[in-house]
């Protein structure tokens, strides 16, 4: 069976588990929503909120990513399923792609909802010319986040104290995504007079990041979960 077919099976299985357990709907989404509301209370100024809305959205995405990754590997560890996949000779690259794909799809939904929340809570406005940049930013940033999350989620899964180890590994690694995606969304929203065209180089950075971590993660995931 081809790598992609196995990856799709793994992704479908992960999404079925999520659909059944409703962790994204019942826990991650409220968590992200509460985070954004707290940011609003903490900053307490419409002008400041509108200025920092893109960064706050991506910070909320990063925090939610940690919860999603913990969950994605907790279901594998609960009854030794990841070990069983390894023992059964399932290609680690397929597991990596499958879990990454599932994570990316969940993140995309979350980002769309958080951007909508930013419009409501922070008064952010999306000009028509910024929509394409906004969508492209989300599409290029998400695979990078999923690639990093899956790679380090697999690594941390084998350690005691994985809950505290994961943020230490993931947050520094995704800093380029936070910066790039924030700048690109600022350009898409026209925050502080930024032009839409200013955002495209950041989209380039996000693409390079996603490709680099996608390729690196594909190669490293097997050895990392093997020990």
Taking contact as CB under 8 A, which single stretch among the options 5-13, 41-49, 102-110, 200-208 is the one that binds another protein? Answer: 5-13
Report if residue 9 touches another protein, rule: CB under 8 A: yes
Report if residue 160 touches another protein, rule: CB under 8 A: no
Query: Of these, 47, 78, 120, 192, which contacts another protein (CB under 8 A)?
Result: 78
DSSP code, position 101? H
The H or E element spanning position 205 is helix 200-226
C-alpha 53: how far from chain center: 18
Q: Among all chains, which residue has been given the structure tokens 């991506």?
A: 58
Query: Of these, 25, 42, 48, 84, which contacts another protein (CB under 8 A)?
Result: 84
Q: How many chain residues are in contact with another protein, going by CB under 8 A?
A: 20
Longest dimension (CA), the chain: 56
Report if residue 67 touches another protein, rule: CB under 8 A: no
Query: Of these, 80, 172, 204, 223, which contacts another protein (CB under 8 A)?
Result: 80
- Spell out the alpha helix ranges (H) of 22-160: 23, 29-43, 46-77, 81-87, 92-122, 131-157
Q: How far apart are CA 181 and CA 203, in angstroms?
A: 7
Residue 53 CB coordination number (10 Å):
28
Question: Of 163, 144, 10, whose CA–CA distance to 85 is shortest?
Answer: 10
Query: Of these, 3, 13, 105, 222, which contacts another protein (CB under 8 A)?
Result: 13
Supply the minimum distance, in Å, between the C-beta of residue 23 and another protein. Answer: 9
Residues 6+ apart with CB under 8 A from 93: 3, 7, 218, 219, 221, 222
Taking contact as CB under 8 A, which single stretch among the options 29-37, 83-91, 137-145, 215-223 is the one that binds another protein? Answer: 83-91
Query: Of these, 75, 178, 208, 220, which contacts another protein (CB under 8 A)?
Result: 75
Which residues make up the interface to another protein (CB under 8 A)?
Answer: 1, 6, 9, 13, 16-17, 20-21, 75, 78-81, 83-85, 87-90
């Amino acid at each position: 069976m081809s790598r992609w077919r196995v990856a799709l099976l793994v992704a479908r299985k992960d999404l079925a588990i999520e659909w059944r357990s409703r962790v994204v709907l019942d826990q991650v989404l409220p968590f992200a929503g509460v985070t954004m509301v707290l940011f609003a209370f903490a900053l307490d100024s419409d002008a400041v909120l509108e200025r920092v809305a893109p960064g706050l959205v991506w910070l909320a995405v990063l925090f939610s990513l940690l919860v999603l990754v913990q969950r994605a590997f907790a279901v594998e560890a609960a009854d030794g399923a990841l070990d069983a996949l390894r023992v059964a000779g399932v290609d680690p690259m397929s597991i990596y792609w499958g879990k990454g794909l599932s994570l990316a799809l969940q993140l995309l939904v979350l980002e769309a909802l958080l951007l909508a929340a930013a419009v409501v809570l922070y008064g952010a406005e999306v000009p028509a010319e910024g929509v394409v940049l906004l969508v492209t930013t989300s599409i290029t940033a998400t695979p990078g986040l999923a690639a990093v999350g899956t790679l380090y989620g697999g690594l941390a899964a084998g350690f005691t104290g994985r809950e505290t180890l994961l943020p230490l590994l993931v947050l520094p690694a995704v800093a380029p995504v936070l910066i790039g995606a924030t700048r690109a969304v600022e350009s898409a929203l026209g925050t502080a007079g930024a032009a839409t065209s200013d955002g495209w180089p950041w989209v380039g950075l996000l693409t390079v990041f996603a490709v680099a971590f996608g390729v690196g993660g594909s190669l490293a995931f097997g050895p990392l979960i093997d020990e």
